[in-house]
């Protein structure tokens, strides 16, 4: 018996966010999240981290790292580890019907009733069509929502909704109301976390950029693990949140690694520059002492070029303008030179 199938729009491959921010591993992982056998019509399904690791072949630590990345930096999913529920935030945009008359509507309504973390419902329905939002008990996107379609304090709540059971025993109405309001509160808390995630997203970018350059030079296909992500967070904190400086440090590291002792293997550090062997390790790059040394060398580079053209032993910093000789001093020096050449015409001046 054939199982259900899931649609993947061809525009996925030309989506600017995917093109600019997704690594090959990101694309593989996201396609898995949208097409695995646990997915359903509503876009919120139960799955364990152990199951994801088994299906994808990734280590559990890698799965956790990927989920953190997709929640913080890429903002494509929301995962509740307590209820083991995965929400694909853009699911409704591409997979929900536009009208309630569509046969899929009732199936979606039935599945949403079984969702334990109600805050996930609000996050997914934020991308659904207005008629679907209203029918499912989601307030107007232009009234009572913020710019990111997250419900606010003033959100209107209809009296009846397909998200609720057809009838409730007497005395459960207040409990249901508290549960719904709790869902709004969790959705608002998620929004606050999203707003605070910019720094988190930046540290993911540091780790991913470093490993992208690492893969380019070594021909290996790998990605940051949890330790690398933690180390990159410390790098960002050490740099005062300056992501641009971190990117410059990564560029310099891989363009000039033969001049950096901590990027060369121990056996080849004393060898001629061109014969030195790489020993690329993110932990070494992210070391506070090594990063300080690396940044100090960047300051010696001319602004128009990042590459070091001279050995460090002979490179000299530019002389400040206020230390250059004045016009009077130059005139005196040239006059002294002319007199010397008149008296000693055959001698060289060293």
Query: Can you spell out the DSSP letters for 190-209?
Result: HHHHHHTTHHHHHHHHHHHH
Cβ contacts of 211 within 8 Å, gap of 6 or more: 222, 223, 224, 228, 282
**Closest C-alpha among 81, 45, 75 to residue 63:** 81
Decide if 65 contacts 98 (C-beta within 8 A): no
Decide if 99 contacts 131 (C-beta within 8 A): yes
Encode pLDDT of 218-235 as tens digits: 877 777 777 888 888 889
Encode pLDDT of 42-92 as tens digits: 999 999 999 999 999 999 989 999 999 999 888 899 999 999 999 999 899
- Between these two residues, 199 and 212, which has the higher pLDDT value? 212
**pLDDT band per the 50, 70, 90 thresholds, residue 341:** low
Mean confidence (pLDDT) of the chain: 75
pLDDT for position 31: 94
Query: Tokens 């989601």, residue?
Result: 138
Decide if 160 contacts 128 (C-beta within 8 A): no
Structure-block tokens of residue 120: 């996930």
Encode pLDDT of 281-310 as tens digits: 999 999 988 998 888 888 755 444 344 444
């Amino acid at each position: 018996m054939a199982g259900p199938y899931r649609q993947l729009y061809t525009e996925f491959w030309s989506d600017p966010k995917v093109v600019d921010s997704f690594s090959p591993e990101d694309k593989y992982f996201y396609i898995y999240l949208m097409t695995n056998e646990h997915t359903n019509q509503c876009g919120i399904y139960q799955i364990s981290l152990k199951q994801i690791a088994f299906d994808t072949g990734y280590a559990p630590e890698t799965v956790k790292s990927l989920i953190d990345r997709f929640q913080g930096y890429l903002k494509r999913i929301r995962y509740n580890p307590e209820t083991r529920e995965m929400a694909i935030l853009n699911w409704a945009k591409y997979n929900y019907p536009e009208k309630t008359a569509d046969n899929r509507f009732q199936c979606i309504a039935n599945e949403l009733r079984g969702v334990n973390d109600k805050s996930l419902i609000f996050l997914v329905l934020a991308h659904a069509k207005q008629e679907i939002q209203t029918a499912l008990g989601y307030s107007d996107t232009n009234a009572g929502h913020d710019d990111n379609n997250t419900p606010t304090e003033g959100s209107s709540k209809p009296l009846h909704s397909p998200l609720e059971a057809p009838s409730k025993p007497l005395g459960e109405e207040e409990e249901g109301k508290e549960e719904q309001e709790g869902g709004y509160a969790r959705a608002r808390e998620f929004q606050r976390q999203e707003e605070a995630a910019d720094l988190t997203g930046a540290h993911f970018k540091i780790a991913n950029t470093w490993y992208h350059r690492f893969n380019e030079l070594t021909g290996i296909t790998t990605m940051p693990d949890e330790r690398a992500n933690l180390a990159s967070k410390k790098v960002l904190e050490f740099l005062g949140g300056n992501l641009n400086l971190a990117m410059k440090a990564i560029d310099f590291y891989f363009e000039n690694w033969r001049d950096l002792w901590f990027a060369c293997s121990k056996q080849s550090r004393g060898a001629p520059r061109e014969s030195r062997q790489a020993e690329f390790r993110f932990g070494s790059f992210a070391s506070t002492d090594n990063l300080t040394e690396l940044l100090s060398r960047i300051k010696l580079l001319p602004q128009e070029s990042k590459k070091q053209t001279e050995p460090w032993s002979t490179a000299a910093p530019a002389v400040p303008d206020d230390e250059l000789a004045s016009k009077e001093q130059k005139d005196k020096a040239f006059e002294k030179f002319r007199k010397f050449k008149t008296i000693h015409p055959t001698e060289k001046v060293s």
